[in-house]
Amino acid sequence: MLQDKLSQIKESNDIVEVVSRHVPLKRSGRHYKALCPFHPDKEPSFYVNPERQLFKCFGCGAAGDIIAFVMKIDGLTFVDAVKELARRAGIEIGEISKSEGKTSALLAANETAAIFYGKVLFEESEGSGALDYLKKRGIPENVARKFRLGFAPDSWKALLDFAADKGVKIETLLEAGLAAEGKEGGHYDFFRNRLIFPIFDYAGKVVGFGGRVLDDSLPKYINTKETPLFRKSSILYGFNFARPKVFETRTVVVTEGYTDVMRAHEKGFTQVVATLGTALTEDHARLIRRYADSITVLFDADTAGKKATSRGVEVLLQESLNVKIAQLPAEKDLFDYLSKFSREEFEKVLASCEDIFDFSLRIAREKYDTKTVRGTSEAVDEIVSLIRMIPDKQTRDIAIDRVSLQFGVDRREVAMSVKRANAPAQRERTAPAPVTLYRDMDILDIIFTRPDLIERAREAFPPESFQDPELSEIAAAAYKIYGERGSLNTDDIFAKNENLRNRLLQVFEYGRNKGERDYEALLTGWSETCESKKIRSQLKERSHKDASALGGIKEVYERRKVTKH
């Protein structure tokens, strides 16, 4: 695409005029704002910058130029959006080459499959057994439809034929894990004779499937293999539905299993999500951190002690999340519990959760004989491994105090073993992070607010210069897209990885909190600054940073100190 033709098309259209055909814009200083057309928006969080001809939504992260807006609002490809804008401006253009994104092909294949499985379950006779099964388990139809359940018929070719009809290529089905290759060539449906649970990403797009048998045959569950879209270790089932409530209450409840989530949502506990049979990972923790301050990990009756460590609860501490443990008093899982007990009972369970340190201290006391020196030291070791995950020093100190009080061990000894256990991980986590993160965020804020500065930004700050791998990825994508098209569209970046949307939202939020900024000066400043000096002063600035993690512990500890006197 000829760059100057593209500029000509963009200059001949006014983003304010185009946007205001879809949503009423209100002037606000140098910007216009509106309720976002791309997400349910209560406060106007959608901004249009007439000067720069850009839009940006602080609620959902949609951002870009006029081409991006037309693509998104009219559901057009880049090429078609350009054509449309050219048509409006009366500019002649030739054919533009078109490169179909692999990700969007995979998404389309998954969506096609979800539609197919849903059709079979709800409309065809082959689905009646599965419908009966759902009825027997007490899953209402509206819930099954909300979670888009489906059924894969007992056939080798049913989905293959349906997808072929809809123009989905066999290579795409293979890559999406929906079809498999036979030993003697040929292809067959991967999911057969199974109840299907589509698995959504954060935004509600189908990225994979879980399939459950209706009888006793094995394996009971199978999942889509790992694909570019489907990474089990980063997905929380139900998060797309849970997001508003999680954001509102700043709390998320994590359990296991699709049906646990479905039952919880049915009963109004829409802050409940589930891991896909994996332990909690750093990806999960980061995703949660963007919406919540607090996480409650829910365990089945009697298994909490054994499972707490295997569930990866520690990684949550690293993200400064306030971690709580709740345990079902009876029944083997949340689904059964909520089938039998009232909402109020479950509310009590959630309210009676313990913070992770109380919990771990209790478990350690049960597990080890703390009357002996050996038992005490084993118990302390176990807690120390938890304390070392806390990034914030102040919070760490409070935890150390508590362990020393609880087990009657010299505080210095506990502190020493935390330090010993800590040495490598701690250094790696804290050394360059803070300042470079500010720099990474500033540079991205510049890129998305002032694309006219992109060339300069790219020269001074190539993607490799970013410290944060995700922000680096966003920068690389932004440079690439702008370089190829002379247009910026966050959708292209998000299609690759939903986590990135969250990160970019953070950047926008960060930029907005800074108010009006002189972006040119900012870019010059970062390019010229002697970094080591900057790092030192910013580290100092950060030392009074709040200790949001384990806030509860601090309180408990304060209270204990008071009652002791």
List interacting residues with Zn ion (CB under 5 A). 36, 38-39, 57, 59-60
Write out the two tokens for 250: 């700043």
First to last CA, the chain: 76
- Minimal distance in Å, beta carbon 153 to Zn ion? 39
Q: Is the dihedral of CA 223, 229, 231, 237 positive or negative?
A: negative
- Minimal distance in Å, beta carbon 540 to Zn ion? 37
Write out the two tokens for 233: 């270790």
- Minimal distance in Å, beta carbon 24 to Zn ion? 15
- Minimal distance in Å, beta carbon 59 to Zn ion? 4
Whole-angstrom CA distances from 479 to 104, 358, 411 are: 20, 48, 51
Among 200, 114, 214, smallest CA distance to 163 is for 114
**What is the rounded distance in angstroms from the CA atom of residue 371 to the CA atom of residue 422?**
27
Quote the radius of gyration of the chain (alpha carbons, Å): 27
Are the beta carbons of 277 and 235 closer than 8 angstroms?
A: no
Q: Of the two residues 72 and 458, which places its CB atom closer to Zn ion in the complex? A: 72
Contacts of 35 (CB under 8 A, 6+ apart): 23, 41, 42, 44, 45, 46
What is the number of other CB atoms lying within 10 angstroms of the CB of residue 129?
A: 15
Q: Of the two residues 26 and 559, which places its CB atom closer to Zn ion in the complex? A: 26
- Minimal distance in Å, beta carbon 504 to Zn ion? 12
Q: Which strand ranges, in their side-by-side order, compose the sheet holding 221-223?
A: 150-152, 194-200, 206-212, 221-223
Q: Of the two residues 44 and 257, which places its CB atom closer to Zn ion in the complex? A: 44
Q: At 273, give phi and psi (nearest 5°).
A: -135, 175
Write out the two tokens for 322: 């306030």
Q: Of the two residues 16 and 203, which places its CB atom closer to Zn ion in the complex? A: 203
Q: Of the two residues 36 and 70, which places its CB atom closer to Zn ion in the complex? A: 36
**What is the rounded distance in angstroms from the CA atom of residue 300 to the CA atom of residue 335?**
10
Q: At 442, give phi and psi (nearest 5°).
A: -60, -45
Helix (H, G, I), strand (E, B), or coil: what is residue 209?
A: strand
- Minimal distance in Å, beta carbon 122 to Zn ion? 32
Q: Of the two residues 61 and 118, which places its CB atom closer to Zn ion in the complex? A: 61
Question: Alpha helix locations (H) across 184-252?
Answer: 239-249
- Minimal distance in Å, beta carbon 370 to Zn ion? 53
What is the number of other CB atoms lying within 10 angstroms of the CB of residue 209?
A: 25
Q: Of the two residues 38 and 133, which places its CB atom closer to Zn ion in the complex? A: 38
Q: Of the two residues 72 and 402, which places its CB atom closer to Zn ion in the complex? A: 72
- Minimal distance in Å, beta carbon 35 to Zn ion? 9
Q: Of the two residues 36 and 403, which places its CB atom closer to Zn ion in the complex? A: 36
Whole-angstrom CA distances from 38 to 203, 245, 377 are: 12, 19, 56
- Minimal distance in Å, beta carbon 58 to Zn ion? 8
Q: Of the two residues 69 and 197, which places its CB atom closer to Zn ion in the complex? A: 69
- Minimal distance in Å, beta carbon 37 to Zn ion? 8
Pairing of strands 272-275, 251-256: parallel
